[in-house]
Structure 1
């Protein structure tokens, strides 16, 4: 289904938020669709949690509007918005068992005891915690506590579920397992999930779409492949994974394509981001798209500065003619001969993966 045909769950219309003289959000406009796993991604302090809290009603905005399924919710108190939040620290009540924790929100909404208990059992089944219904929070692991918090948030059947870095307290292996569970949970419930993280891998592996945010502004919105393969600017390219930003001379872009002259004079025809222009610019290429080749077939040459063993990969740092350092990552199974420090090597940049960035 095309995005234009999808129902918008949450709509930001030129939203701004200021704390004194500090502007946390700058004219943010963004559509988040119904039944979507949408991620707000960016570094600490970029504004992503402020966006989330403004949906929940925990933060007021100074300018613009926020609409929930078409309704302007600016004047609605948090308890009147059909959203629920899973916080970073889970915020479970230590004196209540698992079932009581899940029932709490339902009771606050006036749900009968019988209906609240029935619904609590349904959502505990959903998060696979049926056998833990009588446990206290301090008897649960971090991953189990996180599932209780999810069950409690899902119990009132919110139309939108907000998740504020809910995996940050878990160890790496557990985080990886819970990512898959969250994806399945979103598909099973059909609820719009809005997930906040600063972890690029989490965003890439879990999301239908991602909004990359920096300094209170949305830098780019797209699916994982678009964000990684087609970054708009240097911030997105550098924040999402690793990249090489090579200084190049840029021709006049035409129909999304451009000729970029590399250090050494070889011209590379590649894609151009919106905002790319003729003159001096930067070409982005991922380390895994830099391939070693014979010198006579290279479009870039340089001197090996460092070789790092990374298990499945080798990272090779190469100084090129302009003085910049280029990183290449090569699978160990593909590298028959490991370059030596001080060796002159040829590199073939994959033109299909290279991109001249916008301002």
Structure 2
């Protein structure tokens, strides 16, 4: 087993610097189009940080600005306290893993990994030794003599990672590197990437549009939309405490319902649905009585009963069940055409409390799980 100290030798981080990357008021324009609108965020040393959002939200643009492949229109970018937005890409101690791997097809695996080291001035023997060490880390030592086309997609991905890690960059940038893999392999590579980040101690900045991927791998997540930062936090905060309607809807599944604030008691707010039913929930933003907001309730935070167990239970009728292996999603119609999706986890015996379509049920919302969003 290759030791972490051996893998990270030469990687010097100032003791008084806690952030690997500081993006300050960064803006990116292409003519009249603004791709990034005044982004400010900090990425910690030795952190697995994810930029998450739909296509066109600006996450790859920000990554390319950190790499030096895109100019910064306004603002500043610092790497371990050093301003870098005016440095060319080859002068920045960062490496990038691309979606298409970009391996040299005429070189074998060992040559692919050692090539960049030789370009940095390492002797052939030193480069080959280092390449061998990093191939052991990614569990590809036995494939050093093979050409990239003789490898599977997952193995090619690991070669690309090894090549990027070999020069011991201070920061590794990963631009949707798993998107070309099938689902099962992608899940396995998620765990491998997190393991690699911990083993090397290098800051990883990962770009993806896959919410599950971000939740699985990240220490912290920056959710982006339309060139703006929507929310920054760890996976639990992003999922359990979305800052706005976009985050609630984009991360996982949720029931989003327009409501009116009827009364307030501290942070607890009584809300009324369009069908006249009411529910007490937690308010994210300060909202006055009479104002309209959006209530978010995760499907797994509700349970179905045949009898009413709480005063705020909703009466409805089951219209559809969708079996998803680990759980069952049930669509319940309430009065005035209001719908709720409820997820019920399957038990150890594979039998969950599922009600047939047409059954009258009561929907019990878990206390504290309903969240009122102003926007």
TM-score band w.r.t. shorter chain: over 0.9
Distance 1:335 1:290, change over 3 A: farther
Unmatched 5+ stretches in structure 2: 1-15
Aligned to 2:313: 299
Q: Which secondary structure state, in structure 2, belongs to the residue aligned with residue 53 of structure 1? A: helix
Give the TM-score of the pair, scaled to structure 2.
0.89
Deviation at 1:315, TM superposition (A): 1.4
Summarize the alignment of residues 165-176 of structure 1 with structure 2, pairs less than 5 Å apart. Answer: 165-176=176-187
Question: Which of 185, 201, 211 is equivalent to 1:200?
Answer: 211
Question: Which of 294, 297, 320 is equivalent to 1:282?
Answer: 294
Deviations 1:189-244 (CA, angstroms, capped at 9, x unpaired): 00000001111111001100111111111111111111111101111111111000
What is the rounded CA distance, in whole Å, between the counterparts of 1:261 and 1:6 in structure 2? 49
Deviation at 1:145, TM superposition (A): 0.7
What is the rounded CA distance, in whole Å, between the counterparts of 1:122 and 1:171 in structure 2? 28
Distance 1:335 1:133, change over 3 A: closer
Distance 1:49 1:276, change over 3 A: farther
Deviation at 1:133, TM superposition (A): 1.1
Deviation at 1:336, TM superposition (A): 6.2
Question: Which of 54, 59, 66 is equivalent to 1:48?
Answer: 59
Runs of 4+ with deviation above 6 angstroms: none
Contact 1:106 1:116 (C-alpha < 8 Å) held by counterparts? yes
Q: Which secondary structure state, in structure 1, belongs to the residue aligned with residue 99 of structure 2? A: coil
Contact 2:332 2:340 (C-alpha < 8 Å) held by counterparts? yes
Summarize the alignment of residues 233-248 of structure 1 with structure 2, pairs less than 5 Å apart. Answer: 233-248=244-259
Moved more, 107-116 or 52-61: 107-116
What is the rounded CA distance, in whole Å, between the counterparts of 1:78 and 1:275 in structure 2? 44
Distance 1:98 1:253, change over 3 A: farther
Question: Which of 315, 324, 330 is equivalent to 2:329?
Answer: 315
| CA RMSD across the alignment | 2.0
What is the rounded CA distance, in whole Å, between the counterparts of 1:277 and 1:62 in structure 2? 39
Unmatched 5+ stretches in structure 1: none
Summarize the alignment of residues 1-359 of structure 1 with structure 2, pairs less than 5 Å apart. Answer: 7-251=18-262, 256-262=267-273, 267-274=278-285, 276=287, 278=289, 279-297=291-309, 298-333=312-347, 338-359=354-375
Q: Which secondary structure state, in structure 2, belongs to the residue aligned with residue 123 of structure 1? A: helix
Q: Which secondary structure state, in structure 2, belongs to the residue aligned with residue 75 of structure 1? A: coil
Distance 1:256 1:63, change over 3 A: farther
What is the rounded CA distance, in whole Å, between the counterparts of 2:70 and 2:262 in structure 1? 46
What is the rounded CA distance, in whole Å, between the counterparts of 2:195 and 2:340 in structure 1? 39
Deviation at 1:255, TM superposition (A): 5.7
